[in-house]
């Protein structure tokens, strides 16, 4: 069964300037850049190894052959089944070489250790997942090339929850012993309303389609993911 996710929206607020906080953000962005490039490079290396394997070359030839036949008759059930079987074998082969999103979550551990674990584990995993999204487009034929991030060009990082690492607490961005308030314009009704609902954990409901039927799901405001960006001195905070 597909996992149900709550509706989300993004609230972007500017940080009040704090020299130490911004220095920490700059340092973490650079470490995240190294993590991203290292993970992306590892994916490319493993993909190259996989493509040398005879099994891979044979499966790709078979897939091209089936696709040509399906181009003439896309309703042929036997060809459709054959294509599914080839794709399943390719999936297993990719898994064998660690070409999955979650494989990279283990690769970031020694990189974090190299930087004395300055980057939170959840942040490192999200960066690894970002590298996977980039690489997966190439892996699945949706892109011909991938690009590494140049020094100074890493724009943002984010965590998974609001319990560790970079956190949003009572109108402040908090990181270890550092705190910086968010700048909220006096007449910004939208931001004030969002923060009020967040503070009160206001209940809400939404409708999903499950097994062909409408279903109402109850939830509350309160799940936060802070996305820190150096550009324009802003922090992006995701509420759902």
pTM: 0.85
Confidence at residue 235, expressed as pLDDT on a 0 to 100 scale: 56
Q: What's the pLDDT at 1? A: 43
Ordered by start, the domain boundaries in the chain are 9-239
Which pair of structure tokens corresponds to residue 147?
């690009």
Q: Round to whole Å and give the CA distance between 221 and 203.
A: 6
End-to-end CA distance of the chain: 22
Are 182 and 166 within 8 A, CB to CB?
A: no
**In a 3-state reduction of DSSP, which class is residue 183?**
strand
| Token code pair at residue 71 | 């181009």
Which among 44, 23, 28 has a CA at the least distance from the CA of 154? 28
Give pLDDT < 50 ranges for the chain.
Answer: 1, 239-240
Separation of alpha carbons 119 and 29, rounded Å: 9
């Amino acid at each position: 069964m597909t996992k149900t996710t709550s509706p989300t929206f993004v609230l972007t607020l500017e940080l009040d300037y704090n020299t130490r906080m911004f220095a920490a953000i700059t340092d973490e962005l650079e470490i995240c850049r190294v993590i991203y490039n290292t993970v992306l490079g590892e994916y490319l290396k493993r993909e190259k190894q996989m493509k040398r394997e005879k099994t891979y070359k044979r499966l790709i030839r078979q897939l091209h052959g089936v696709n040509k036949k399906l181009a003439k008759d896309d309703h042929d059930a036997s060809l459709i089944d054959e294509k599914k079987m080839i794709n399943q074998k390719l999936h297993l082969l990719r898994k064998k070489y660690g070409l999955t999103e979650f494989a990279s979550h283990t690769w970031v551990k020694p990189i974090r250790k190299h930087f004395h674990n300055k980057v939170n584990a959840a942040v490192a995993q999200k960066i690894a997942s970002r590298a996977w999204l980039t690489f997966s487009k190439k892996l699945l034929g949706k892109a011909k090339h991938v690009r590494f991030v140049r020094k100074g060009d890493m724009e943002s990082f984010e965590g998974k929850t609001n319990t560790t690492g970079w956190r949003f607490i009572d109108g402040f961005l908090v990181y270890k012993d550092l705190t910086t308030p968010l700048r909220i314009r006096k007449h910004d009704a939208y931001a004030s309303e969002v923060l009020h609902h967040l503070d009160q954990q206001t209940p809400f409901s939404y409708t999903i389609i499950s097994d062909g039927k409408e279903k109402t799901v109850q939830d509350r405001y309160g799940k936060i993911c802070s996305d820190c960006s150096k550009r324009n001195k802003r922090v992006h905070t995701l509420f759902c």
